[in-house]
Amino acid sequence: MISSRVITAVCYLLFAPFIIGLLDGFDRKISARMQGRKGPSVLQPFYDLKKLFEKEFLTANKIQLLMIRSYLFFIMLSGVIFFAGFDILLVVFSLSTAAMFLILASTSTHSPYSAQGTHRELVQIMSCEPMELLVAVGFYLAMGTFNVNEIAQGQMSPITFLPGFFVGFVFILTIKFRKSPFDIATSHHAHQEVIKGVTSEMVGKEYGMVTLAEWYENAILLGIVGLFFINSNPVSIVAAIVAILVVWFLEILIDNTSARVKWQLMLKLAWGVTIVAAGMNLFLLEIIRG
């Protein structure tokens, strides 16, 4: 048991960036085709990351570098906890801690662009946190445990009991992936009006570490999507992979067909979906358990 946990944790640390980087490359290619362009190579994200780490080391201050390294560390720690099969509630708290280090890294530069991005990042966190926490609670109510390994070994897939939680989680993924219409704090497109928002003053190796942390985080989020569909039957792994790819494509489609909204609307929509989808699902779960 311990050896299998170690193996899955090591596989996450080694292969998550390659898998997510490749998905990011296909994301760019598919987005380009949707816009009538040819698009870059699917390996372009790796070329970009390599270029960032090859640049001269520059930092606004030592505190920013410490905060960015802490951000990357806690994201990686969250992934190790999740893929090693430990407490999913701890994963949510660890991801929240990582987000706070990104906020501190941004505010340490005293840049007006970073400050604007920081304020918007805090709003995004406010929009996502309730649903993330409720997903962990939903897994517990449906499966009787917070332990990821035990959830994955259940007789039935959690999606059977948690369709509302799944809908709510997929909705906030648009915010977590920084896709339109909710890419208000920073965007993967360089022409946005807040420049790069929360990452405006991060360059070279620092920005490379932030990009790497985002890839690790996206692997965790997609892993949670898969967890909704996994059970003790090995065939469910195929269903989980299909679900992950469908959700991933859906996010690309939303990104290319939506215009950015104001933060007030984002907050209302996120909390509205959380209350309606997760709230009703939670109510039904209580009735079933009762």
Q: Using alpha carbons, list the distances in angstroms from residue 3 to 6, 147, 244, 267.
A: 5, 17, 27, 43
Residue 104, in any domain of the structure: yes
Among all chains, which residue has been given the structure tokens 């560390």? 73
Residue 30, in any domain of the structure: no
pLDDT of residue 189: 54
DSSP string, 168-200: HHHHHHHHHTT-TTS--S--SSTTSTTTTGGGT
Residue 9, in any domain of the structure: no
Low-confidence ranges of the chain (pLDDT < 70): 1-2, 59-60, 185, 187-196, 289-290
Q: Give CA–CA dist 62/105, Å, rounded.
A: 10
Of 228, 217, 182, nearest to 24 by C-alpha is 217
Q: Give CA–CA dist 240/237, Å, rounded.
A: 5
Q: Using alpha carbons, list the distances in angstroms from residue 125 to 98, 99, 103, 267.
A: 11, 8, 10, 10
Give me the domain span that covers residue 120. 50-289
Of 22, 24, 32, 39, nearest to 256 by C-alpha is 32
pLDDT of residue 219: 96
Residue 129, in any domain of the structure: yes
Residue 36, in any domain of the structure: no
Helix (H, G, I), strand (E, B) or coil at 207: helix
Helix (H, G, I), strand (E, B) or coil at 6: helix
Measured in whole angstroms, the distance separating CA 178 from the mean position of its chain's CA atoms is 9
pLDDT of residue 1: 56
Residues 123 and 170 sit within 8 Å (Cβ to Cβ):
no
Residues 139 and 91 sit within 8 Å (Cβ to Cβ):
no
pLDDT of residue 60: 65
pLDDT of residue 221: 96
Residues in the chain: 290
Among all chains, which residue has been given the structure tokens 């709003």? 123
**pTM of the entire structure?**
0.92
Residue 16, in any domain of the structure: no
Residues 211 and 24 sit within 8 Å (Cβ to Cβ):
no
The tally of domains found in the chain comes to 1
Do you find a cis peptide bond into 234, omega within 30 degrees of 0?
no
Residue 177, in any domain of the structure: yes
Q: Considering all CA atoms of the chain, what is the largest pairwise distance in Å, rounded to the nearest integer?
A: 62
Q: Give CA–CA dist 169/178, Å, rounded.
A: 14
Residue 142, in any domain of the structure: yes
pLDDT of residue 198: 77
